[in-house]
Structure 1
Amino acid sequence: MEISRTWYLSIIRACPYSQSRIENGKSSSHLGWTVELYSWRLDPNLSGTSDLDYLGQLALHLTDEISRSPNSSELYFRRANAYLDSGRFQDAIDDYTKAIDLSPLDAIFFNNRGIAHRYMGDFNSAVADYDQALLLNPEYRDAFTNRGVVYADMGDLDSAVSDFDMAIELDSEFWFAYSQRGLALWALGRREEAEADYARLRELQS
């Protein structure tokens, strides 16, 4: 199967990997963060609410919380995530920046701001944010993956593969990194390696 670089880049841009921290969740083994178990879509009181309506309500609630706790980096971070998910990318960048100003050593804040910069088409700022996230946490799997996606956006597929390699080295079962590396390898003409990644991806998702 032949694959054009244009098609490849349109696919690889589809799924940036963001990070959130939720209380009362399950710890993630590789970094000790928590992963949300609660899904508002399954809540009978909220299941009829659209994504954008829910995110708008969440942003308003967090705005009220911020007015009472203006020095909480976590509140700015959570509102930024709501803005990011609702497509308000500049608002997300502004709030991630406020969170970073308050807590400049939090790698997750830089990672998520990088995602917002990427959606705005500012690839250089996105890479700079992922670089800083990795400086703060050299074992940050998702920052390697996200930076690899941006390198692919920029046409630097070799650097993208190197970052996906690092993500897989950190987490050998991270399906998303295999999917992105497979696309990059295929676009580079390294078909056997790409097919091996696709096979591993099918194994992980079976």
Structure 2
Amino acid sequence: MLSTDVETDLTALKQGNYSLDPKHTSVLFKVSHLNVSEFVGRFNQASAELDYVPEDPAASRIRASVNMQSLDVNNPDFAETLKSCDWLCADTYPQALFVSDGRAERDGNTLIFRGTLQFRGVTQSAQLDVRINGATTNRLTGDYIIGFAANLSFKRSAFDMGRFVPAVGDDIDIEIHAEFIRN
């Protein structure tokens, strides 16, 4: 049987350095389109490191990056348009980067990391909310993993990408559903 015991108490998780498992990672973005729908896309390549401190989860640190060239909107021609400098400018700025600074806040099983988001050559303050779903040992691989869901929101105009506001919304919502593997 492949069922596993899942630990959800943040102070009981194993201390250490964790890396994002690319096989179990989804990075989605949502933006309003013409105030009638949400356009949803994804990025297929991301990386992240978490330094986890169980005796004081708020002392943990996180660093995450997304490869802008890995944009996937289920339409290759439109993806190329979005990678242009009218939008992501992916050739010039190939990655978006979030780095936490200082202590996180803890709200139940959510760690609220404040830090900086570097995107399109602009650096702004940002907040990454990481809800820890739990941790377990993957019985197939033997790896100790932490599952999580994270959210980050920003205004695209703050990153010199305000073209077509308000027809294309200014607010961007990022969702990350993934697992960290303990190194």
Classify the TM-score, shorter chain.
under 0.3
**TM-score (ref. length: structure 2):** 0.24
Higher relative contact order (CA 8 A, sep 6+): 2
Going by fraction, where is strand more abundant, 1 or 2? 2
**TM-score (ref. length: structure 1):** 0.22
Going by fraction, where is helix more abundant, 1 or 2? 1
